[in-house]
Structure 1
Amino acid sequence: MGSAHSISTTKLLCKRTIAGTQRGVKPIGSTRNTFSTYHGIRSLCFASQHVAQRRYAQTQSATQERSETADDLDIYYSAALNQSQFNTSQSVVQRLRDLIRLPDRTQLVKRSQIFEAWECYEDLRNHSFLNHLTDAEYRQLVYFFSKSSSQDRFGVDFLLSLISDMASLGHAMSRREKLALMYVFGRNGHLDEVEKLFKNLRSEQDETDHRGMEKVYRGLLRAYRFGSVKKETQVLQKTLDLVTDMAQLHLSFDSKTCAALLKGLKHHGSLTFEKNQVWTWASELMSGSLILSGRLLRTLCVYFADAQDSTRANAIFEYMQRHDMPIDNHVLSTLIGAIGRKESLNKALALLNDMTKRGFQPTILTFNMLLGACLKQPDRISTRHVKDIVSKVANSSVKPNMATFCALAELCNRSGDLETLGYILSHVRATRRSVHPRIYGSLIQCLIHQDLPIHSDKLFALMKSDQCLPNRIICNLLLHDLARKGKANAAKALVHKMTRIGIVPDIVTYGTLMTAYSNNGDVDNVQKVAQEIFHVGLEPNPFIYTTLIDAHVKAGDLIGAEQVFHLMQAKSPQGTAPHNAMLHGYILLGSMEKAESVFEAMQCSSNVSVDRHTFEHMLEGYCRHDNMMKANSLLSQMQASGIPPKTSSFTILLRAYLTHGDVQGVQNIVSDMRFKTLSLDLDTYSNLLRKCPSADVLQETQPLLKSITRPQRVPRDLAALAERIQTPGAYYGERSLSELVPTLSHT
């Protein structure tokens, strides 16, 4: 390189830096190093010029030495330029060191810091300064981008570039960086890269010494947890094979490894055939000769218990008992809850009593699991079970938490025990700083079921004093009560109050308000609420279209109902409820032919399915038109379609037979209900009680009425009618009803 070329190169570097600074372009390195870099290049340029002039003056008289002088000048110029490059690169490297330094592993890194570090690295790459980074600095870069951008796609791109540059420069990664890379690639679904790193780490490990390999296997387990959704079955099998390999190597299953395994099994083993696959693998492990870890078996027991498979969870639990393995509170509590939800509360309570006798001390988690099991099976729950659990909590040294009180409040709501629910609320208010909104939600639902008045203003004031802010669920429950009672104006005022206190109405809120107007036959306000839904940007669901159709049907506007129905079909053809509403509207307004066409279209459609309500609407339509042959045929079709008829389905036919005085038809319906072990509800009992005498078939149906069990919670008017019937010598429709006393006096 000649002298003029060396000087021009140094000047060019200086000129570009000066020009870039004047234009506002960020030079190499960070902003605070801009002027130091500029002055360094400038001084080097002047030093190179001074050396060149002095050397040239000394050799100007000697022509034969000119070539040698030029070579010396090249050496000086090259040294000056290399020194300039070194100083420039070191300023960028120092800034990069400051950015990637993580004194605390839990320290959160800003996204701007990550991108600035990557810009510094790209500056070094673009100017061929990567050779100024040491092996330790490369490893720190890998660790920094792995920790700070593990859940982002750009982090993977940065790491792939770093790995490529390290390989070209001959740098090697340590164990820590490889483990960090496994985590990042696993979070982003790069299972192939993770498996390559896993094999590399295994090859570096001594075959006779497997200490410290738990982290490597845990990294692969975590990667499989975030595996590709399209390869769930393959990932599940790889997970099971990996655990088998760990058991064969006698690696320890610490809490982090078990947590990663449990999350992976829940993520990839939620379907039935996948649970069967996990159970087959677990059975082979338990029946083999391997010494299994107690933590591994506890993890499998919790997995099956959370999957509502109490039989398999109990089998693993018994295996652990036979081999005298330690059992912790979490495993036993989860198992008790699973048995209570899936099998019976009696069995769960028996297991709790047995373990208590063996010295097991139940925790509040145990009792909350039992209460959760009670909530999962409300049809089979009894007051005795709840009282038994409450007495166990009271007699133990465990203090109930807010989850316990919320579960007890919901159980009281479902059983209609308003008095106990009020006691729970008073106790929580006296012993806690705040009350959970779920308790107030249970209270509101209990008041609604018992048809008691609810004053929203007083309720909000009480919640505010308890530091319990009303949420959207509470407000929607109050709206439901107002809509059920037809208080549309009060419902509208409540919606305005929601917006004032900062609660944003959702689609359920608007749908309930539409129901309030629809129950009053106010089609105009229903349409206004529907327009407001579009105005706020919410997407109408099938319930909104159903409410609109019902409002037009109640107003007798069949054309308006059809317009809404066609609009729904054009936007969202899915949804059985709007089709049922339109079908019911045709039946109520006397268009049975159109109802049959909608019913046939639903049966042929792939987007809409028929349900029990669809068949019951059609049953009602045929009974209204005195077509009992088609009604009975439709009932058989309903059973053949895999939709079992309920008590309400038979009640429609029963009402029609009573209207026509068909005693044989009534007896056939009741016989079918008994065969299907269906109990009579209040509607069926009311129809029998009121219509048998009026249909002049009392004498023929008297044996049938005697054999029917009276339902619970009979209203006052039916109770008064029963008292009249029970009076000796009383007459109703020219026939003595004293013989009905045995029927109505026994429950």
Structure 2
Amino acid sequence: MGGQRRQKLETAAHAAANRERAADAADAHDARPRWPLVLAASLLASAAFALPKKAQDEATRPQQEMSKKTVKKFSHKVYQMEDSQALDFLERWYQGQEDLGGLARMPPKVRQSFRTMFNNIIKTAGKDGTMSESVLWYQRMRAAKIDVNPRTFGKLVAAAASRGLVEEAELWLETMVGEGLQPDLVTMSSVIAACCEAKEPLRAERWFQLLLQQRLTPDLFVYTSMVDAHAEAGDGDKAAAWLQRAVDAGIDVSTACYNAVIKAYCRQGDLEVANEWLEKAKAAGHTLDIMSYNTVLNFFAEEGDIKAAEDWLDKIKASGLQPDQVSFNTMIKAASVSKRLSETEKYVKEMASYRLQPTAATYVTLVSAYADKGDLKNAQLWYDKAEAATGEKVRAKTVAALVKAYVKAGDVQGAERCLADAVKKDGMELNNVVYTTMINAYAESGDVDGASAWFRRAREKSRERLNLWSYNAMIKACANARDPARAQQWFNIAIEDGLKPDVWSYTLMISACGKAGRVGEARRWLERMEPAGVQPNVVSYTEAIKAGAQSRTSKAPGLREYQLFARMLSEGVWPTVVTYNFLLQSMVRSRPKMMREAEDVFRHMAQCKLKPNKFTQINLARVLGLERTLELCKELGFKVAPDLH
């Protein structure tokens, strides 16, 4: 292994160890220098698994020098164990061998006979332990002068890929090739799948080309990964192109591939092309399953088009397929999105007529719908029905929705009581959804202490790793407390914990700076996004414009906000009414008055078929004057707001 590549791998291994063994989140209040933490983490990584020796049992205590025959028997015994038992057993066995001088003392043939066992323990450590354990066993294998083979690196690649550690997986694959070993299809497929899971389809495409260069033939798994990656990104054309590429390669693609393409076009809002792919699937001899139809049904539900959803449900019935629980849950979702909650009961009854029981999704949808409406009474009613049903998963998911209802009603203490009752009564273990909901509840009011307490509790109690939403909620808490410095601390903590900030992480930082009156910093956070590979969305631009609009000290008010507005249009990001409102507000303090620009903005709003509200008209009047504003409203056919008179 080359020195530079080895250094990269050791760095990656140390980073993985730091992420996996972190016991507590750094407190946002703690303003102490972070170098002691970095030093401690480095020491921890360098002393990885230097565990105190346990008392050895008879099985692990070395009795005599091993032969190839005894190695085979020993390995067979290990294979019969549960993964966690095998890891513990082999750790104690290895320490015992170290006491005798290490494996390197054994004859070469005996030593090499351990290779298969080491390969398997690398795999087991990656699956049941940690990535750093896999790396440790690889390092021990090297130290014992046991020859590595393609399977060794294949296990390391698979271990990294299964944990979403794309860069580590790539490094191990590059190391494998660098040592002159030929990767097999499974190894290459693992890296491609990891890239796809990480929502990096372009990265996956690069590895696909390398797969071809290795003279390997992609199989259904590889093509399905590529189709799914582009479908999840909402790129129907590319998903369809990869499906066609699979067909051209002679792959017997599954109905699931067609479903992914249909889903991608639905996400794009291109129902016509989605229907075309439904027909293509039929023409290719695929029997469309209920999932194919439910994909389109979900499109109507998300649009809140309940009439179209009902028509599509009738089409499902006419096709000879029986609607399933997902179908009816989607109809309940359609009614919820379209604000017709009274119709949800109809679909619950129709579900029962097909002898289908409500699922966790049924209850969560109903409790969430009433929670969003602020109807705590009905949210509690459906929660009680869910609680009467069996299954821990049902209770865990619906309690999160009920907590949201209390939070929506502004009753954070009620949410706390709800959780305490669920834990005491059912022995329910809180999940990340609940923790994030509570962090968010305190974040909304800018209570950083309350949010931080729930964050620490989640890190201490939850078996699952907190996702980026939890970190974003902490950034929001600091933003609402008008403390951008602490918000940035949480932004950095997310990165240190191995998470990549998304568009909302940056947008919340823009908001934090804007609320604190730091307009320049808000704009700089916007500028950081594209170099970081994050595309600003309409909220990002709106928050940056809002920062300037609400500032009393910004230089050239209105001008820079107008430039941001022009930039977002050039990027294909379309403003909302809120964007126009803050843009016009920023022009109120402009000197000289940006009258021509304000009128252009208002006309642009009309061209985009957006209706101005009273705030739009009030801000416009403060720039153009009341008389000209009334003339424009009349010319463009807008009803004049009562507050304007």
With the length of structure 2 as denominator, give the TM-score of the two structures: 0.61
- Look up the match of 1:695: 626
Q: How many Å separate the matches in 2 of 1:167 and 1:692?
A: 87
* Matching of residue 183 in structure 1 with residue 109 in structure 2: no
Residues 303/238 of structure 1: CA separation in 2 closer, same or farther (3 Å cut)? farther
Relative to 1, partners in 2 of residues 1:359 and 1:156: Cα closer, same or farther, differing over 3 Å?
same
Q: Quick check: 1:619–1:652 contact (8 Å CA) kept in 2?
A: yes
Q: Aligned match of 2:90 in 142, 155, 164?
A: 155
- Show the 5 A alignment for 1:501-520: 501=425, 502=427, 507-511=435-439, 514=442
Q: What residue is the counterpart of 1:443 in the other structure?
A: 366
Could you tell me which residue of structure 1 aligns to residue 384 of structure 2? 461
Deviation at 1:302, TM superposition (A): 0.2
Shift of 1:614: 4.3
Show the counterpart of 1:122: 61
> C-alpha root-mean-square deviation of aligned residues, in Å?
5.6
Per-residue deviation, residues 437-487 of structure 1 (Å, max 9, x unmatched): 322222234335556563454333322344366645544544444444455
Look up the match of 1:95.
Answer: none
Q: In 1, distance between residues paired with 2:491 and 2:280?
A: 56
User: Is residue 275 from structure 1 mapped to residue 195 from structure 2 by the alignment?
Assistant: no
Distance of aligned partners of 1:546 and 1:485 in 2 relative to their CA distance in 1, 3 Å threshold:
same
- 1:673-688 equivalences under 5 Å are 673=605, 677=608, 679-680=610-611, 682=613
In 2, Cα distance between equivalents of 1:327 and 1:538: 42
Residue number in structure 2 paired with 1:33: none
Distance in 2 between residues matched to 1:317 and 1:608, nearest whole Å: 36
| Equivalent pair of 2:329/2:361 in contact (CA under 8 Å) | yes
What's the secondary structure of 1:630's corresponding residue?
coil
Deviation at 1:651, TM superposition (A): 1.4
**Which of 383, 393, 412 pairs up with 2:316?**
393
2:219 is the counterpart of 1:297: yes
Q: Which residue of 1 aligns with 2:281?
A: 355
- Which whole-Å CA distance do the structure 2 matches of 1:513 and 1:323 have between them? 52
| Other structure's SS at 2:610 match | coil
Offset at 1:390?
3.0
Q: Counterparts of 1:404 and 1:364 in 2: how far apart (Å)?
A: 8
Distance 1:134 1:620, change over 3 A: closer
2:399–2:422 contact (8 Å) kept in structure 1:
yes
| Structure 1 residue 599 corresponds to structure 2 residue 519 | yes
Offset from partner CA, 1:250-295 (integer Å, 9 cap, x none):
xxxxxxx76x76444212565355323134346779xxxx8x87xx
1:418 corresponds in structure 2 to 341
Mapped contact 1:300–1:313 kept (Cα < 8 A): no
Hey, what does 2:560 align to over in structure 1? 633
For residue 650 of structure 1, what is the aligned residue in structure 2? Answer: 580
Q: What residue identity is the alignment partner of 1:425?
A: V
Q: Is 1:266 matched up with 2:193?
A: yes
One-letter code aligned to 1:280: Q
- Structure 1: any 5+ residue segments left out of the alignment? 1-114, 200-216, 248-256, 551-560, 587-594, 711-716, 723-731, 734-747
**Which secondary structure does the structure 2 equivalent of 1:226 belong to?**
helix
Match of 2:599 in 1: 667
1:306, CA displacement in angstroms? 1.7
2:635: which partner in 1? 704
| 1:136 is the counterpart of 2:69 | yes
Q: Do the aligned partners of residues 486 and 534 (structure 1) sit closer, same or farther apart at CA in structure 2, a change above 3 Å counting?
A: closer
Aligned partners of 1:170, 1:629: CA distance in 2, in Å? 79
CA contact (8 A) 1:336 1:366 kept: yes
**CA deviation map 1:659-701 (0-9, x unaligned):** 99998665232134357x4723655677599999993557622
CA distance in structure 2 between the aligned counterparts of 1:672 and 1:653, rounded to whole angstroms:
12
**Which structure exhibits the higher relative contact order, with contacts defined as CA atoms closer than 8 Å and separated by 6 or more residues?**
2
**Cα distance change of structure 1 residues 329 and 283 upon mapping to structure 2, 3 Å threshold:** same
Kindly tell me: are residues 418 and 600 of structure 1, through their superposed partners in 2, closer, same or farther at Cα, counting changes over 3 Å? same
Deviation string 1:231-256 (CA, Å, 9 cap, x unpaired) is 543545689999x9799xxxxxxxxx
* Separation of aligned partners in 1, 2:457 and 2:249: 63
Residues 685 and 268 (structure 1), Cα distance of their counterparts in 2 relative to 1, 3 Å cut? closer
Q: Contact 2:223–2:243 (CA<8 Å) still a contact in 1? A: yes
CA distance in 2, matches of 1:372, 1:263: 31
- Flag the 1:685–1:446 CA change in 2: closer, same or farther, 3 A: farther
Name the counterpart of 1:558: none
- Over 3 Å counting, the alpha-carbon distance change for 1:333 and 1:579 in structure 2 is closer
Correspondent of 1:616 among 521, 535, 546: 546
- The change in CA–CA distance for 1:504 and 1:567 in structure 2 (over 3 A counts) is farther
Q: Deviations over 1:78-130 (max 9, x none)?
A: xxxxxxxxxxxxxxxxxxxxxxxxxxxxxxxxxxxxx99964453413xxxx3
- Aligned counterparts of 2:152 and 2:311: Cα–Cα separation in 1: 45
Q: 1:168 to 1:237 in 2, by over 3 A?
A: closer
Structure 1 segment 358-373 matched on structure 2, within 5 A: 358-370=284-296
Are the aligned partners of 1:412 and 1:420 in contact in 2 as well (CA < 8 Å)?
yes
Report what 2:20 is aligned to: none
From the superposition, tell whether residues 543 and 339 of structure 1 become closer, same or farther in structure 2 (CA, over 3 Å): closer
Tell me, yes or no, if the aligned pair for 1:364 and 1:398 is still in contact at 8 Å.
yes
Residue 112 of structure 1 corresponds to none
Deviation at 1:184, TM superposition (A): 2.7
> How far is 1:304 from its partner?
0.7
Match of 1:233 in 2: 170
Q: How does 1:484-563 map to 2 (within 5 A)?
A: 484-486=408-410, 494=418, 497-498=421-422, 500-501=424-425, 502=427, 507-511=435-439, 514=442, 543=473
TM, length-normalised to structure 1: 0.54
What are the superposed Cα offsets for residues 627-677 of structure 1, whole Å, 9 maximum, x if unpaired? 9961233332565598975431321354688999998665232134357x4
CA–CA separation in structure 1 for the residues paired with 2:630 and 2:478: 47
Q: Which amino acid aligns with 1:352?
A: L
User: Counterpart in 2 of 1:738?
Assistant: none
Is the radius of gyration larger for structure 1 or structure 2? 1
Per-residue displacement from partner, 1:473-524 (whole Å, max 9, x unpaired)?
A: 54454444444445567556545544543557755454565479x5xxxx9x
Residue number in structure 2 paired with 1:63: none
Aligned partners of 1:337, 1:346: CA distance in 2, in Å?
12
Letter in 2 for 1:631: G
CA pair 515-351 structure 1, distance change in 2 beyond 3 A:
closer
CA separation of 1:511 and 1:328: change in aligned 2, threshold 3 A = closer
Identity %: 9
Q: Which amino acid in the other structure matches residue 61 of structure 2?
A: E
Picking from 399, 409, 434, the partner of 2:332 is 409
Structure 1 residue 362: deviation in Å? 2.0
In structure 2, relative to structure 1, the CA distance for the partners of 1:399 and 1:681 (3 Å cut) is farther
1:347-384: CA deviations, max 9, x gaps? 23322223324432123443455556778xx46x8657
User: In the alignment, residue 143 of structure 1 is paired with which amino acid?
Assistant: H
Amino acid in structure 2 at the alignment position of 1:137: T
Structure 2 alignment gaps of length 5 or more: 1-53, 127-133, 461-469, 493-504, 530-539
Query: d(CA) in 2 for partners of 1:165 and 1:283?
Result: 39
- Kept in 1, the 8 Å contact 2:549–2:558? The answer is yes
Displacement of 1:141: 0.6
Distance 1:265 1:694 in 2: 60
Shift of 1:139: 0.7
Instruction: Output aligned runs, 1:183-222, within 5 Å.
Output: 183-186=120-123, 187=126, 188-189=134-135, 221-222=154-155
**Does the CA-based 8 Å contact 1:435-1:468 persist in structure 2?**
no
Greater displacement, 189-198 / 480-489: 189-198
How far, CA to CA, are the matches of 1:371 and 1:240 in structure 2?
47
